[in-house]
Amino acid sequence: MPAIRVLAPAKVNLCLHVTGRRADGYHLLDGLVAFAPVADVLALTDAPVPGLTVDGPMATGVPTDPTNLVLRAAALVAPGRPLSIRLTKHLPAAAGIGGGSSDAAAVARALGATDPGPLRALGADVPLCLTPRPWRSRGTGEDLTPVALPPLPAVLVNPRVAVPTAPVFAGLARRDNPPLPDALPALPDAATAIAWLATQRNDLEPPARALAPAIGAVLAALAATSGCGLARMTGSGATCFGLYPTDTAAAAAAAALRAAHPDWWIADGPLGDRTDAAAPHPA
């Protein structure tokens, strides 16, 4: 196989409602997901023996042993096929943006996987990352419905604080919160979408803020930038996002935040459909 290059874009939970909990402990969710331009990069080649190397600005601490979802995805989709995989990490880990899940889905995409069902064995977020476009995700991630969303100019900020998922769920005050409306409204432009999203929630934000107070500082900083229509945490944190009326406004906000907080991880660009950009191509 010639070397293949594929992107693993950041996943952003525009809203995330916790609606219940099954007897086996899995939480039931209802939320909207879109994808950002910032992405990890993977290169795959056939090799005599399988292996994974990790580099890039966010490589520290990323395992290269068989516990890594990248190697597990390769073994699931192409069993018995030894591959050399290079993962260049641009996305922070344990950040609520699905970095490991998106990496695994990118490997599956590069190897020709089209059925998201088997990927559920790797985690609830991996199937929706296989096709990185806006989705409504319900249940434990098995109920995926495509959603029409306009591009949403955004800034992503992580204070470089890792937030484990399990303690966030454990800190929920209640687990039977209202879901999204059965029928979503038409969201033809960014202004309409931002206004409607502001009426929704991320139910994991309060317990995550209690565990990591830096999240509150990030949300306050985003909300204070010019033009920010919504500041919210994504996933289980600690990454937060701000939504803006234009790409120019988002870029200006990102520049101001970088100047004020050079120690934070900051990225900007429109959230939406990254399917074409994330398609595999020769390295």
For residue 231, the tally of other CB atoms under 10 A from its CB is: 20
Alpha-carbon gap, residue 20 to 29, rounded angstroms = 7
11 catalytically annotated: yes
Residue with tokens 């409204």: 185
Torsion angle of alpha carbons 129, 130, 131, 134, nearest 10°?
A: -20
Torsion angle of alpha carbons 88, 31, 258, 218, nearest 10°?
A: -130
Candidate list 30, 125, 203, 273, residue with the active-site label: 125
Report the Cα 191 to chain-centroid distance in Å.
Answer: 22
For residue 6, the tally of other CB atoms under 10 A from its CB is: 23
Q: Which residues are catalytic?
A: 11, 125
